[in-house]
Amino acid sequence: MGLILEIIPVGPLSVNCSILADSSTGKAVVVDPGADGERIIEACSEYEVIGIVNTHGHIDHVGHVAKVRDRFGVPFYLHPEDEYLISDEIWEGFGSYIGAVPCPPPDIHLEDGMKLEVGNLTVRVIHTPGHTPGLCCLYIEEEGVLIAGDLLFKGSVGRWDLPGGDPKKLRDSLEKVFSMMPDDTLVVCGHYDETTIGHERKFNPYLHGGIP
């Protein structure tokens, strides 16, 4: 019973693509299929994929949404305020460097407080703008897991100087998340290592005046 969490670092920037699966029903969602679509599809072979959910619309996170969606024929979820970003290369040539293919518009819009049912798992959507206007964290409260996208990293936070960034909103969003979550919450970041809310509360310099 419970959550099966598979984290697959994909592409040259090691975007953490997550598969969130319910062990009792085998239903699963794919989060942030940014690259390496074939590997992601292969990793889903044991599950019934019911959706693709993106934390945000930056091209390194949406680069292989189309491949996974074509394979499973499932809806793609994204916050509407990030829809304009899915075709933005950020830097010229970046899309081809990471092997991105054109991303379809979302089928379903994420919104703050929305609950996604994945078999018996409940995944809560928390809108946390700042890195991008539509960035959403995915919180599986019963399991103490937060998929944070590029909101938060181990010892750092998401950049606020990329398209759609806003440092004030980033500060507010971090405050919102840290006021909600217990210390033992596992945080899956958008890139690189996992951390916990408690570790970041203690050691993350950006939470103590590091954002302009």
Query: Is there binding between residue 58 and Zn ion (CB under 5 A)?
Result: yes
How near is the Cβ of 110 to Zn ion at its closest, in Å? 15
- Span 96-115, contacts to Zn ion by CB under 5 A: none
Which of 27, 171 has the CB closer to Zn ion?
Answer: 171
Query: Is there binding between residue 150 and Zn ion (CB under 5 A)?
Result: yes
Kindly report the three-state secondary structure assignment for every residue of 164-207.
Answer: CCCHHHHHHHHHHHHHHCCCCCEEEECECCCEEHHHHHHHCHHH
Q: Which residue has the CB atom at the shortest distance from Zn ion?
A: 58
Give the interface size with Zn ion as a residue count (CB under 5 A): 2
Which of 119, 133 has the CB closer to Zn ion?
Answer: 133
Query: Is there binding between residue 69 and Zn ion (CB under 5 A)?
Result: no
Q: Which amino acid is residue 202, in one-letter code?
A: K
Site stretch for Zn ion (CB under 5 A), options 10-18, 50-58, 69-77, 83-91: 50-58
How near is the Cβ of 99 to Zn ion at its closest, in Å? 17
Q: What does the binding site for Zn ion look like in residue numbers (CB under 5 A)?
A: 58, 150
